[in-house]
Amino acid sequence: MEDRVAIFIDGSNLYHALRSNFGRYDLNFAEFTKKLCGPRRMFRTYYYNVLQDPTQRAEGYREQQEFLSTLRETPYLEVRLGGTKMAPGGVPVEKGIDVMLVTDLLHFAWNNLYDVAVLVSGDSDFAYALQAIKNMGKHVEVAYFESNVSKDLLAVADNKHLLNRDFFRDLWARKGPRRRRGKRLGGILPRVNMPEVANIPR
């Protein structure tokens, strides 16, 4: 039987890596997940990010909703959204994103819903969870950027997908770099992942 693949995307991690490495965000998620899955059978993709607060940035919230509407049209993809909390100094930080991802990763493995988990992140916080599902007999893969990955995470992975320029060559929604900070539609990542929302220290 074909291996069933579940893909777990750390949305904020992906956004910042695309921004720092390529200066563009217009990723075609359908093609991106298809390439990660390869000839295997897709179970589902899960995308995790923070929900923009409409009372803080109304325009950012509206843009994010447009993005999420398009993202939800991607076949076999579900969106998981967390909130923010205020850190000392009045800086908003993500709340609950990592917990949601890890909970799904473990819950679906325990219920034998996939054979291979592909994690799109470079965050070392996920290493122990990946080891736990390996102990259940599942295979784990990490899709990562060379400049933004934990060695602990790579050490756990059974297989690795290096997300470099060649990997993304045919996965952009538009031709040429997209650096304008205006409206981001289609398969483009939203401005919710931007510096205004800080990551909790890891």
**Per-residue pLDDT for 47 more than 70?**
yes
Identify the top-confidence range among 53-67, 75-89, 160-174.
160-174
Confidence label for 182 from pLDDT (cuts 50, 70 and 90)? very low
Distance CA 152, CA 17 (A): 18
Q: Which two tokens stand for residue 123?
A: 């965050």
What backbone torsions phi and psi does residue 85 show, to the nearest 5 degrees?
A: -135, 160
Segment 15-20 mean pLDDT: 88
Residue partners of 75: CB distance under 8 A and separation at least 6: 30
Query: Please, what is the end-to-end C-alpha distance for the chain in angstroms?
Result: 39
Taking the CA atoms of residue 81, residue 83, residue 87 and residue 90 in that order, the dihedral angle to the nearest 10 degrees is 120
Q: Which domains does the chain have, with CATH numbers?
A: 4-193 (3.40.50.1010)
pLDDT digit string, tens, across residues 75-116: 899 999 886 665 566 555 556 789 999 999 999 999 999 999
